[in-house]
Amino acid sequence: MSFLDSAPRLDRPVSVDLPGFFARAAAPDGDVPCLRLLIGGEWRDAGSGATFDVVSPIDGSVIARAPRADRDDVVAAIDAAREARAGFRAQPAAERLELCEHAAGIVAEHLDTFVDVIVADLGKTPSQAKSEANATRERLGLAREEVRKIFGEYLPGDWIPDTLGKSGIVLREPVGTVAAIGPFNYPLFLAASKIIPALAAGNTVVAKAPSDDPLPLVLFARVLEEAGLPDGVLNVITGPGGEIGDLLAEHDDISMISFTGSTAVGRRIARLAGPKPMHLELGGNAAAVVLADADLELAVDKTLTGAFKNAGQRCDAISRVLVEDSVYDAFVKRAVDEAAEWTVGDPRADGVQVGPLVNAKAAEAVQRLVADATGRGAEVLLGGEADGTYHQPTVLGDVSPEAEIVWEETFGPVLTLVRVSDLDAAIALANRSRYGLDSAVFTTNLDQAWKAAHALECGMVHVNDAPAHGVGHFPFGGFKPDSGIGREGLGYSIDECTRIKTVVMPA
């Protein structure tokens, strides 16, 4: 008997019903919409006519078909972006900001459609999908915050003998064409958070949609088109990630790569791209340190949310909880009791908090990590099973530091508990990771909090809260190569999409 036999579910199959506004981007094709590529302002099929099915992880229903772009399609998209550069760069920045504000209003008008598509395409709960759609709308509305970083600098030359009689003016200019490659876990927001600052800075974009859930990005491109984006400024490709990603990385007319995804793929892109600018947000292995003086009720609530939210499919998810030995047993009891309240099942059903993983392969990967941990002495305190695309919310106790799950990105709903003797031991264990994206520390002692914040080797430390990036008001990114390079966030993203030019003038 499977845990899914008693899980909440709806009897009707998953389907996508798109309003006529999106027909240009996703035309009806039998019972499902057929997505189109956007190249040079034209919505079109792949040159070969090839397509692939888009399958909902909720029940395996085919919810759309998407073009399987090949090399010729990708080159055409790059060429279109190259041709559109000069005209878009000449457009006043104020008009680009107005376009973003207009797009925010259109997203708001079609918010329910975006929510439904994210639920069907990825299996998020409606509340999680609504949060993502709203964050995208807010990011568009905050485009003016992005451009606060586009400013120049005046350098008088009379401070240095060899520049007497001269002045330097430092300008920030668009890099050219940005390749935006987003992951499946936030198919709308993470794509938008790459596209918006690139456009605000005056760049053109070629965006690759995630193959598991391409609908949100294609629909978002339709919104930007309606908002007035000129032809060729944004081009959208769907198809096999390896082939398309490699071509985007290597092509000379791609000026910059903005990629969020796995460490392995990020490293490959870096090798192929060579010296061109890159923003890479890669793997995470966030450690949450729970000290003896922590508020355990708060720590349990936040670490469970950090591990289980979005079925654990987040780069900033809590991958391991390092609990001081003196409060370990009390923490475990609370954690198991509260984790039992997290319901897994069809995300469309009332009361479900944990939906499926993106596909069965992802659930199998999580199950292998759980099996490795139990094989090394860990105890399954709750859950521990997988069925198809679903994995139970799971609590693992007394996990050995030798277990793979302590060091790898789990990307599933697993709370991994490890005993530590004190803060120093926790910091040492946390910093052994090859990742350095996020972490958290739970304590009521300010000195301990600051000690942990300074010592943890990662790009963001959260005190008495689970890691979360939100719309990007606070900058985030990795410290170690396996967690990437560059910083995302309002204003900070724009730095990644601009380059510095120095103009030397007579004083």
Annotated catalytic residue within 145, 146, 225, 315: 315
The count of other CB atoms within 10 Å of the CB of residue 499 is 15
Burial class for 446, CB neighbours closer than 10 Å (0-12, 13-18, 19+): exposed
Query: Rounded distance, CA 477 to CA 302, Å?
Result: 21
3-state SS, residue 327: helix
SS (H, E, C) 234-266: EEEECCCHHHHHHHHHHCCCCCEEEEECCHHHH
Tell me the mean pLDDT in the region 106-131.
Answer: 98
- And the tokens for 191? 């794509």
pLDDT at 151: 76
Query: Rounded distance, CA 189 to CA 313, Å?
Result: 14
pLDDT at 19: 96
Q: Going by C-beta distance under 8 Å and a sequence separation of 6 or more, which residues neighbour residue 227?
A: 99, 100, 102, 103, 106
Tell me the mean pLDDT in the region 114-143.
Answer: 97
Query: Rounded distance, CA 97 to CA 151, Å?
Result: 16
Cα–Cα nearest to 100, from 180, 220, 182? 220
Cα–Cα nearest to 225, from 254, 201, 195? 195
pLDDT at 149: 67
Q: Edge-to-edge strand order for the sheet containing 42-44?
A: 42-44, 37-39, 234-237, 204-208, 177-181, 256-260, 278-281, 484-485
Query: Rounded distance, CA 324 to CA 421, Å?
Result: 6
Q: Going by C-beta distance under 8 Å and a sequence separation of 6 or more, which residues neighbour residue 28?
A: 34
How confident is the model over 431-485, as pLDDT tens digits? 999 999 999 999 999 999 999 999 999 999 999 999 999 998 899 999 999 999 9
Is residue 315 part of the annotated active site? The answer reads yes
Give the H or E element holding residue 361.
Answer: helix 360-375
Residue 391 exposure: Cα atoms within 13 Å on the Cβ side: 32
Q: Domains in the chain, ordered, with CATH?
A: 70-282+487-500 (3.40.605.10), 286-477 (3.40.309.10)
**Bridge partners for 252 per DSSP:** none
Which tops the pLDDT comparison, 243 or 354? 354
Burial class for 304, CB neighbours closer than 10 Å (0-12, 13-18, 19+): buried
Query: Rounded distance, CA 97 to CA 106, Å?
Result: 14
Is residue 281 part of the annotated active site? The answer reads yes
How confident is the model over 59-96, as pLDDT tens digits? 999 999 999 999 999 999 999 999 999 999 999 999 99
Annotated catalytic residue within 132, 146, 281, 408: 281
**Bridge partners for 245 per DSSP:** none
How confident is the model over 487-501, as pLDDT tens digits? 999 888 988 899 999
3-state SS, residue 459: coil
pTM, entire model:
0.96
Query: Rounded distance, CA 8 to CA 492, Å?
Result: 42
